[in-house]
């Protein structure tokens, strides 16, 4: 559940930035014959794409950790896992 909640939170933050950044009247920065138009800044788009990739890699790493914990501990209770792994 913690992994799913982290994914939902990450998706919510990305969706928030997309809603904030979407504005009418902005064009993509592609070479064209039109002069003096408002272009969308590609840097925030690149940052959001980087955030998506980092979020996916963190989620994958957490799932691998859960798979290892599930192999070593056949329970879903965090307290039991902590008791078993405490020195």
- pLDDT tens series, the chain, 87 aa: 888 888 899 889 888 888 887 766 677 777 767 677 777 777 878 888 998 999 899 999 999 988 888 888 887 788 887 887 777
Please, which residues bridge with residue 12 across strands? none
| pLDDT of 83 | 83
Q: Rounded to two decimals, what is the model's pTM? A: 0.66
Ordered alpha helix ranges (H), 1-87 = 2-21, 42-72, 78-85
| pLDDT of 47 | 87
| pLDDT of 20 | 80
Angstrom distance (rounded) from CA 60 to CA 45: 23
Cα distance from N-terminal residue to C-terminal residue, the chain: 26
Dihedral angle of Cα 43, 45, 46, 47, to the nearest 10 degrees: 90
């Amino acid at each position: 559940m913690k992994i799913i909640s982290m994914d939902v939170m990450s998706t919510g933050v990305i969706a928030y930035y997309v809603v904030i950044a979407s504005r009418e009247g902005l064009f993509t920065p592609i070479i064209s014959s039109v002069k003096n138009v408002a272009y969308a800044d590609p840097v925030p788009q690149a940052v959001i794409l980087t955030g998506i990739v980092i979020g996916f890699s963190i989620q994958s790493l957490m799932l691998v950790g859960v798979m290892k914990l599930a192999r070593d501990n056949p329970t879903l209770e965090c307290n039991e896992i902590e008791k078993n792994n405490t020195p």
